[in-house]
A and B are shown apart, each in its own frame.
Chain A
Amino acid sequence: FFFNDTATTEIYTEQIVGSVRCVQETATGNYLSLGDKAGRLIVFEIAQTGGGKKGQKPTFEYQYLTELQSHEKGFDPLKSCDIEERLNDIQWLKPQGDNLYTLTTNDKTIKLWKISERKVKKPIMSKFQSIHSEKDLKMPKLQVVESGLLPTLRKTFPQLHQYHINSISVASNGENFISSDDLRVNLWNIENNNEAFNIVDLKPDNIDELQEVITSSQFSPVDDNIFLYSTSKGSIKLCDLRKSSLCDNTGVTFEEGQSGPQNFFTEIIASICDASFSSNGRYIFSRDFCTVKVWDVAMPTKPFSVISIYEPIKTKLVDLYENESIFDRFNVASSPDSNYLCTGLYNGNFHVVDKFGEVNTQYEISFNKKTQTRNLPKKFFENLGNNYDLSKKILKLDWNQKTNSIAIACLNCFFIYSPSI
């Protein structure tokens, strides 16, 4: 069937400060969280407002729920530099009862937050009375001072990363999560904030020989022993925790050799921005600067399909290199049925592509007018005019597994697109 998004957009501008850094939906599809540059986490609740009757498509509304200041600006005394408070990644954990749990991380520290209905009670101050006998001992009377949905910091996972953390990912068993920085991947247990296990270590003995860094990592959504990590050299490694304790060498490598003409940019644009599993865990979608490669987990030799997102972008490589946008990290997200993926680009564009690369729909988000969509055929080229806005980049997005809608973050706004059939 043909998947066509109409723009049911809702724009939230008031609450968001600074650019939105990460977007994440819960597995149950009930909540959406955004992390921004100022270290704040903003949570929206997704409520079903209409439909549900037979034949009617359910509609959903996103309601602002709560927000919390997750990280503060820090200082690293050893290196004499600031630690930014901006959030690099968020992960939801499975809710327990009515309580929501989420992990947030900035460059160095990971935190576990709990959002729950709470009543904070404080004792009513009474006059001091001297106590002559046991009868005068009285329990303090309590009154409710604050109540409602309150966040509490449950755990702080200490700075065990020497380099900047780029992603965190929770295992499907909800007990472990991995965090990756440029050279290492660590395995944590949610309960234990004192130690973690190092499972991948790419640091060479001689730091001058450094060839590749880790760009992202993710646990398989299905199998809690399997995780992948992607590198700047364009390869993805799929590792099994059961095979060995240190997964440097026992992973399966997914890599396509360099073919075709090489130029100055080839190596840079081969770096993988983001790699993630499809929702059913059978495919890996990997996004590098110009293309998305779809790999079948069972076949590491060659990708299932290579989809060029938007060929014309290659003409702008020089400009992008100048303003360093060529190192931007674009997210890729999988549809709930694992047949489609979406990823962003510049000029307020994002693309929804099917995994065969046959259908490529480009959407252009605009703040003032309706979103324009058009389908791009496989071999497509156009000249990019001057109003191709390189600053309007869509880096982060997420696909809601329950409501089948996509949340897109662009500059300091975010948009929700719901499917219509």
Chain B
Amino acid sequence: MMRTAQNQRNSEQRSLQSIGQLIDELKSDDLRRRANSVKNLGAIAQALGPERTRSELVPFIMELIDDEDEVLTALADSLSNFIDYVGGPQYSTVLIQPLEQMCFLEESAIREKATNSLKNVINTINVAQNEEIVVGLVKRLSNCDYHSAKGAAASIIPFIYSKVSSAAQSEFLKIYISMIKSDIPTIRKNATIFLKDLVILIPKTPENDMISLIKLIIKDDQDYVRLYIMDSIVSLAKAIPPAKHASIVFPLLKVLAEDPSWRIRYVVCDKINDLAEIIGKEQTIKVLLPYYSKFLSDGEAELRNIACTRLAKFCQYLDNDNIIREIIPCLKPLSTDSQSYVRASLASSLLAISPQIGKQNTNDFIMEIFFNLLKDENSDVRLNIFKGLEEFTKVMGAEVLYQSLVPALTELAVDKNWRIRLSSIEFMTFFARAIGQNFLNDKLSKILLDWLSDRVFAVREAAVQCVQDLSKTLGGPWAEKHLVQKIYVFQNNPNYLFRMTTLFALQAIAEYLSGDFIAKNVIPNVCQMSKDKVPNVRMNVAKTLKVLMTKTKDKSAEELGKRTLQLLLGDADSDVKYVSKTVLDSL
């Protein structure tokens, strides 16, 4: 009894000691220690208790605000959940003060975190009863000289708009409008970024006001202010009834989609699917499709690129007719686009539309583009084609693809960039699944062997994994008949790394092979390798034997295995000895 109490007191003292250390390190010279202390601010606050936290810790925190970014990020995070440590929502103002100071900082990442933490704190307050607190906060932020603080105000206003009284709401609206009309572009930009959150609240926010604000921004002469208005237009479409779209939303969209600045058009194309979802299929075909076709053939490469990435999803809103008549003619020139990243994006999206348009149409229109991209000189393009093959095969059937894909895969498999070789390995399994047992013909088995003896370990490792997948998909008997023989090729390779590959591969497929086969075929071969001159190989023999012997019950194989392991126990290398011992013990 005594001991337990003593232990408890000791551990309390120890943890108090560590809290004391954390407190001291809040102002340590070492940045990492300061950051660590700040991360554990909650523990400190808990030890101090709510009253001391309010009266001592939080004022001390104000001293930390002039510190490095790493400390400040941790601080914003910690303060986010601090409301309990200061004694509950009634003391929220205590937390608002340091977070508000952090909103004045120049580093935008930290301001964002501080603003989010402020929102968390505000969530705990009963806004209806404590309106002066939030209104006061917003007013202080928006009256400040620093542009950054106004951005924080713009972020918070939509967040609490619905919870405050209508008098406060009109105050907030006035503040927001003055930010949008400000002379300083940075303030207009920050206000525009969050405008979408106000717009989505229509009809709580007055519709006409919101629309006139959007119209103001669309005419702004600063590119980077207009950049963010597309989000508001999407929100507007969501908030107002579809009947009004034609008269209000679409004219605004037209201005943006035809903007001479490419960045604005880019944002329109970026969000085109969000808009399509809201306005529905009919309107998409009528209004959005013309813009989209233009984007696909835009003079600016970045725009063609973003249009290609949005292709698959956008086509879901169209009829087959539209796709064939309007979209597909644009795709052919894109497949020979001068910029490789455009072609790569096309390759990722292209095949996803084939399920939608069906086999015949795919055959007539897509196959040609598909072959073009398959022969592309840029490896990323070809790789992306392979990624979309699953859907494509379902539509076109495996046989068609087999003929055309094998040469392409062969080329990718020997690409000079090892990451490309690595990515191409996954396609092997896909082939196996699609084509079945007749799969591993000469060409493909050569590719597989090349991968197993690749210079780069990551590729060999993936090849072993591939071998395992193949065995799983095609079955043990197939593996026994076709695969294992080929793996043995490396057994006597002069390079020890490849001899080890044999062992890794055997380990990987062991569970798919029959016990009989293992006993008669595999174990004798593996035991032969125990006489290898490289200790690494001998060690892996032991490991492999472990895996193999658990799969077989054959007595003579067991005997052979155990004898080999006993021999290895007396090996010159200590690692070999150790592993053999472990294996023997476990058997």
Contact = CB atoms under 8 A, between A and B. Distances in A.
Interface string A173-189: 11100000000000000
Interface stretch (A239-247, A251-259, A377-385): A239-247
B16 interface: yes
A123 B301 contact: no
Interface string A223-252: 011000000000000000111111000000
Interface string A96-121: 11010000000000000010001001
Interface in B33-64: 44, 47-49, 56-57, 60, 63
A139 interface: yes
A96 B148 CA distance: 10
B262 A96 contact: no
A369 interface: no
Contacts of B145: 96-97
A131 B20 contact: yes
A122 B16 contact: no
Interface stretch (B21-29, B170-178, B428-436, B505-513): B21-29
A244 B17 contact: no
A97 B146 contact: yes
Nearest to A120: B66
A173 B185 contact: yes
A134 B147 contact: no
A140 interface: yes
Contacts of B263: 242
Given A96-B146, A123-B27, A191-B108, A175 B17 contact: no
A79 to B, nearest CB: 25
A140 B23 CA distance: 7
Contacts of A49: none
B223 interface: yes
A175 B186 contact: yes
B525 interface: no
B299 interface: yes
The majority secondary structure among interface residues of chain B is helix
Contacts of B299: 244
Most buried by B among A130, A137, A154, A241: A137
A80 interface: no
A136 interface: yes
Nearest to A244: B300
B100 to A, nearest CB: 16
B13 A131 contact: yes
B467 interface: no
Contact of B49 (A134, A139, A142): A134
Given A130-B17, A134-B48, A123 B186 contact: no
Contacts of B250: none
A118 B263 CA distance: 40
A137 B46 CA distance: 12
B574 interface: no
A137 B186 contact: no
- Identify whether the interface residues of A are mostly helix, strand, loop, or mixed: loop
B302 interface: yes
B222 A133 contact: no
Contacts of A54: none
Interface string B106-134: 11100000000000000000000000000
B95 interface: no
A374 interface: no
Interface string A8-49: 000000000000000000000000000000000000000000
A132 interface: yes
- Most A CB contacts (10 A, CB to CB) among B19, B106, B146, B299 go to B106
Contacts of B186: 173-175
Nearest to B104: A97
Interface string B405-433: 00000000000000000000000000000
A246 B262 CA distance: 11
B17 A154 contact: no
Q: How large is the interface on B (under 10, 10 to 19, 20 to 34, 35 or more residues)?
A: 35 or more
A53 interface: no
B66 A173 contact: no
A118 B66 contact: yes
B224 A137 contact: no
Contacts of A246: 301
Contact of B57 (A139, A173, A241): A139
Given A131-B17, A140-B27, A142-B27, A154 B223 contact: no
Given A122-B27, A244-B299, A136 B223 contact: no
A137 B20 contact: yes
Contact of B301 (A130, A136, A245): A245
A137 B222 contact: no
- Residue of B19, B20, B260, B299 most packed against chain A (CB within 10 A): B20
Interface residues of A, number: 32
Contact of A224 (B146, B222, B262, B301): B222
Contacts of A130: 13, 17
Nearest to B303: A245
A130 B20 CA distance: 9
Given A140-B24, A224-B222, A225-B223, A242 B13 contact: no
Nearest to B16: A131
B48 A245 contact: no
A123 B107 CA distance: 26
A137 B63 contact: no
Nearest to B144: A97
A318 to B, nearest CB: 47
A131 B44 CA distance: 14
B261 interface: yes
A242 B261 contact: yes
Given A97-B146, A242-B263, A134 B47 contact: yes
Contact of B56 (A114, A139, A244): A139
A154 B23 contact: no
Contacts of B147: 96
B224 A173 contact: yes
A154 B16 contact: no
B16 A134 contact: yes
A140 B24 CA distance: 6
B262 A242 contact: yes
Interface string B124-157: 0000000000000000000001110000000000
A251 to B, nearest CB: 15
Contacts of B48: 134, 137
A389 to B, nearest CB: 46
Nearest to B259: A242
Contacts of A243: 260-262
A138 B23 contact: yes
Contacts of B107: 191
Contact of A154 (B106, B300, B302): B106
B152 to A, nearest CB: 15
A173 B223 CA distance: 10
A127 B562 CA distance: 66
Nearest to B12: A133
B146 A137 contact: no
Instruction: Output the residue of A133, A154, A245 with the most chain B CB within 10 A.
Output: A245
Contact of B63 (A114, A121, A175): A121
Interface of B: 13, 16-17, 19-20, 23-24, 26-27, 44, 47-49, 56-57, 60, 63, 66, 106-108, 145-147, 185-186, 222-224, 260-263, 299-302
Interface of A: 96-97, 99, 114, 118, 121-123, 130-134, 136-140, 142, 154, 173-175, 191, 224-225, 241-246
30 contacts: A121-B27, A121-B63, A122-B27, A123-B24, A130-B13, A131-B16, A131-B19, A132-B16, A134-B16, A134-B49, A136-B20, A137-B19, A137-B20, A137-B23, A139-B57, A140-B23, A140-B26, A140-B27, A154-B106, A173-B185, A175-B186, A175-B224, A191-B107, A191-B108, A224-B223, A225-B261, A241-B223, A242-B262, A244-B299, A245-B302
Q: Which 10 pairs, one residue from A and one from B, show the smallest C-beta to C-beta distance?
A: A242-B261, A123-B27, A131-B20, A131-B16, A245-B302, A139-B60, A139-B56, A244-B300, A191-B108, A173-B185
